[in-house]
Amino acid sequence: MAVLWFLAVGGLVALAAGLLLDGVLELGPLSGDGGGVFSLPVLGGFCAVLGFTSLIAISAGLATGVAVLIGLVAGIAAAWVAVRAMRALRDDGTEGATSREQLVGSTAAVVSDIPRDGYGEVSVVLAGTASKLSARSDGHAIPRGTEVLVLTLLSDNAVLVREI
């Protein structure tokens, strides 16, 4: 019974340390960001669920062997859920990080008049973030408030646009 309490409480401590201190301490292979089976949060969760589930089963009147088997199954299930959750958090769709090239073909609003032979400004939304960029027209003046199409990138902070 003392071993089960040690697993339960020690697992909670390991789980908390793995989740809370991962960015502070260099945990190496026990780091939670890899989403691996042997990461500290997964091992801690497994031990905690194994210990607490076994203790609950024993207190419900089951034999120790049966209670530990139930705890093992619950611990493995908890570890599987933890691995899946950590991998989902790690792979949250950022592999296709936004880039300025994705502006081409998007629409923008002119916020500062664009003269025929000069630059004005447009406001464009990329990945939910509004940005103000310098803009040059494709040969004619475009007044403020006009919706435009981004044709190409001229630099990191300038685009060529055409009135829609």
What is the pLDDT at residue 90?
A: 67
What is the pLDDT at residue 163?
A: 92
CATH code, 100-163: 2.40.50.140
More confident site: 96 or 134: 134
Please give the Cα distance from 161 to 121 (Å, whole number). Answer: 10
Of the segments 13-17, 22-26, 29-33, which one has the largest average pLDDT value? 13-17
What is the pLDDT at residue 9?
A: 95
**Boundaries of every domain in the chain:** 2-95, 100-163
What is the pLDDT at residue 122?
A: 95
| Torsion sign across C-alpha atoms 59, 60, 64, 66 | negative
Average pLDDT of the chain is: 84
Element at 91 (helix H, strand E): none
Span 69-77, mean pLDDT? 96
* DSSP letter for each residue of 4-53: HHHHHHHHHHHHHHHHHSTTTS--GGG-GGG--TTSHHHHHHHHHHHHHH
3-class SS of residue 115: coil
Of the segments 9-23, 36-50, 70-84, which one has the largest average pLDDT value? 70-84
Q: Check if the beta carbon of residue 51 is closer than 8 Å to that of residue 102.
A: no
101-157 pLDDT, tens per residue?
A: 788 889 999 999 999 989 999 999 877 788 899 999 988 899 999 999 999 999 888
Query: What are residue 159's DSSP bridge partners?
Result: 135, 153
Count of Cβ atoms closer than 10 Å to residue 26 Cβ: 9
Count of Cβ atoms closer than 10 Å to residue 51 Cβ: 23
Which of 43, 47, 39 has its CA nearest to residue 8?
47
Q: Give the distance from CA 48 to its chain's centroid.
A: 26
One-letter identity of residue 70: I
57-72 pLDDT, tens per residue?
A: 999 999 999 999 999 9
